[in-house]
Structure 1
């Protein structure tokens, strides 16, 4: 049984004794399930074949894909690499899931240490590797989609682009005070799909960046990846801060349809004034809503565009409430009411982005604080440049999106099996962070979980094995 140490005899019940033992116990049994998803989807192979590793390969202990796998498992389970990696180095389920070692000896392969994971982030922060992480995210989403659909992509999907504030403590490079959010933060652009629940990309921005700062190249890259991995046509949905002549013209030249909210302005209000009247007759008991198609050309625009005027009646107001949507979709393809219905699905995308922030909880905290000593010798000049720390945070954000995507594939399998929606919070409690015991044999490792959770595991695994997994 191994040595034991007495920890506690609680005063409320003296018959209870808490001991610490050297047994293979843990609470990260779900790591095995997450690793199986990475294996089925080909994510590890994708990363191994593409990530650039500048280390001398003959001297390394952990391959780059194994380091990334350890990162994703820690994030998905709710741990922090900077705070918990060393304490969890010998957690049996994590060790088995992170290593590429086969056989019973896998349980004896410790996780990478915290300093090793920190140096890994420096490697992933390289410009070419950040591109690979973004590509891996789209490939993973596409692989999961095609597996569920018998190997086929969708005809079209809607991609939502929005900012998502991540508060920081201290003065991390690139962070800034944001008056709207009332905190010092980063304000990255996040790409996601409301109808699929997938994360499709991210680019880190300063906390005081404008809504549309850096949006054009990011959106075009996301569209290109989405149409390569998930669909034939990607429709872009945007909030009011994004529409500009440069972005809208680029989307039109690319053949990418879009729906975006427009900020009201006096010229647009004058153009819509004849239509902002209540219908004749007695008002109904319930507030009414209707849409009007307009053609409008703003001052900076190079051409007139289709604008949908949305009018809302409120019983307590004499004036009609209104807002505007601009779109490149012709009326014969989608009516004004259908344009409004499609735009209103943005709320679903925002809920998925909220899960990314609350469940994965990206800790964007790399700093440029320099070292003062190294190997017991004073360092004259050291430390990261601000641009390097910023790149580390962007790589960390992409890793969190990848971890979210692995969790989301598990969620889709469980939802399909059970026929009901599941939150990532519930998924983690019921499927991942569960009591685990590892029994080592001569040729076999047996992972024992509580029987009351086994039916959920069976439901997920059976569904995953029914899907048709293509190479990413």
Structure 2
């Protein structure tokens, strides 16, 4: 327990500033709030370096429509974008956290457009300013640019980390990412499965690399595949253009309706996904649910069968793969179906199943988005805002959280390659980025004295960081 140090005036009065204290565990220690230029977030400089190397902020600023009066602009779109993305990457999730960090010298340096000593004399954008940024990004003029920026950030990273070599094949995972909301944000709805009000956005990631390439905000009562038939083909086309790779889409049972599958088939997009069980599928599987002769082995067994199936909503039969599983401790065989349009010659049933099972890695990356970035959307009706205005602002906020994930993930990949060990985003933030530092100003130069915690990982990370170069 900490005990505040008292002076001749007695106990500290309400609202009075605490200048020092002595911890009860050791009376020889005196802690003072001296006002020196110190910070616990020196990793924001590393994140700024990665963000600058990607070129995404510069590209956004050149493409976004800014309707503000040029004579009254105090904070550029670029500085505001850096503020939101870097703060969220470092764990400062709320927009009003920028007020908490208002006088932190390192944050002034990390987010500013200016050079030299100028950033230390500049004010940081307020919560109200950043709220207006979300309104600007969510406008009809700009939202497509923000979507494109996230996609380009992933494409840039892929190319730079492989020394410009384009991947031959990519697997695009599509999944829902329900986000709980508090209050009555426009477009949110109560969902019985989760027992709370939610938005129901879609998120797209690359299975092989863990990159987030797309996010689409939808109403809380949206169906699982709503808007997927137009959104997925667009993402695949842009990935084809940006990387030259053959993209295969992997989906779960909620996306296997005819509209989504037909949209991909019309554009020659390969896909595979799981089908929900029904009576027709159970009848189709029945002839294959028989144990082979002999005593069951101690280890589980599995069989795959290539079949055709036509759901009521499908205009014609499609290829399905029946997977039959035998477990030593279960008397009954288990079965499930996968639907795919992948070539039987190049994709035998066992290979289709193997690809589908790798979906778990994508779910793990989406889990990191929720755990490390604590995504929440809080824009509400204000003034003359319509429900669509609220949805647009919240979609922009969702995309900026995915930008933050991408910047963290890029550094994580460098660290993993250099150290040859796995890193979670939270572990990297706490052990590598949350490093204390003191800023010393002398002769118009700023020296950042890093804490001892930086000695272990920063040299390794800086050695690999230049590889995060932007495409030209």
TM-score by length of 2: 0.93
Q: Is the 8 A contact 2:53 2:468 kept in 1?
A: no
Q: Report deviation, 1:468.
A: 5.1
Q: Which residue of 2 aligns with 1:111?
A: 124
Find the residue that maps to 2:157 and give its secondary structure: helix
Matched, 1:263 2:276: yes
Find the residue that maps to 2:323 and give its secondary structure: strand
Q: Which residue of 1 aligns with 2:32?
A: 19
Q: Report deviation, 1:106.
A: 2.5
Aligned match for 1:337, one of 350, 353, 363: 350
Q: Report deviation, 1:130.
A: 1.8
Q: Report deviation, 1:5.
A: 5.9
Structure-2 separation of matches of 1:194 and 1:128:
31
Q: Report deviation, 1:62.
A: 1.3
Q: Is the 8 A contact 1:192 1:200 kept in 2?
A: yes
Once the two structures are superposed, residues 340-368 of structure 1 have per-residue CA deviations (whole angstroms, 9 ceiling, x without a partner) of 11101111111111111111112211111
Q: Which residue of 2 aligns with 1:448?
A: 449
Moved more, 9-18 or 230-239: 9-18
Q: Which residue of 2 aligns with 1:378?
A: none
Matched, 1:161 2:174: yes
Once the two structures are superposed, residues 381-428 of structure 1 have per-residue CA deviations (whole angstroms, 9 ceiling, x without a partner) of x34222111111111000000000000000000000001110001110
Find the residue that maps to 2:255 and give its secondary structure: coil
Find the residue that maps to 1:128 and give its secondary structure: coil
Alignment of 1:69-468 (within 5 A): 69-368=82-381, 370=382, 382-466=383-467
Structure-1 separation of matches of 2:348 and 2:108:
55
Structure 1 spans left out of the alignment, 5+ residues:
371-381
Q: Is the 8 A contact 2:93 2:374 kept in 1?
A: no
Structure 2 spans left out of the alignment, 5+ residues:
1-16
Find the residue that maps to 2:319 and give its secondary structure: strand
Find the residue that maps to 1:264 and give its secondary structure: coil
Structure-1 separation of matches of 2:284 and 2:146:
46
Once the two structures are superposed, residues 57-97 of structure 1 have per-residue CA deviations (whole angstroms, 9 ceiling, x without a partner) of 23201111111111111111111343311121121111111
Q: Is the 8 A contact 1:29 1:93 kept in 2?
A: yes
Structure-2 separation of matches of 1:155 and 1:279:
40
How many equivalent residue pairs? 456
Q: Report deviation, 1:176.
A: 1.2
Once the two structures are superposed, residues 233-273 of structure 1 have per-residue CA deviations (whole angstroms, 9 ceiling, x without a partner) of 21100001111112111101111100111112222222232
TM-score by length of 1: 0.93
Structure-2 separation of matches of 1:51 and 1:265:
48
Q: Is the 8 A contact 1:235 1:257 kept in 2?
A: yes
Distance 1:142 1:366, change over 3 A: same
Structure-1 separation of matches of 2:22 and 2:469:
53
Structure-2 separation of matches of 1:387 and 1:444:
48
Find the residue that maps to 2:19 and give its secondary structure: strand
Q: Report deviation, 1:165.
A: 1.2
Q: Is the 8 A contact 1:366 1:393 kept in 2?
A: yes
CA RMSD of aligned residues (A): 1.6
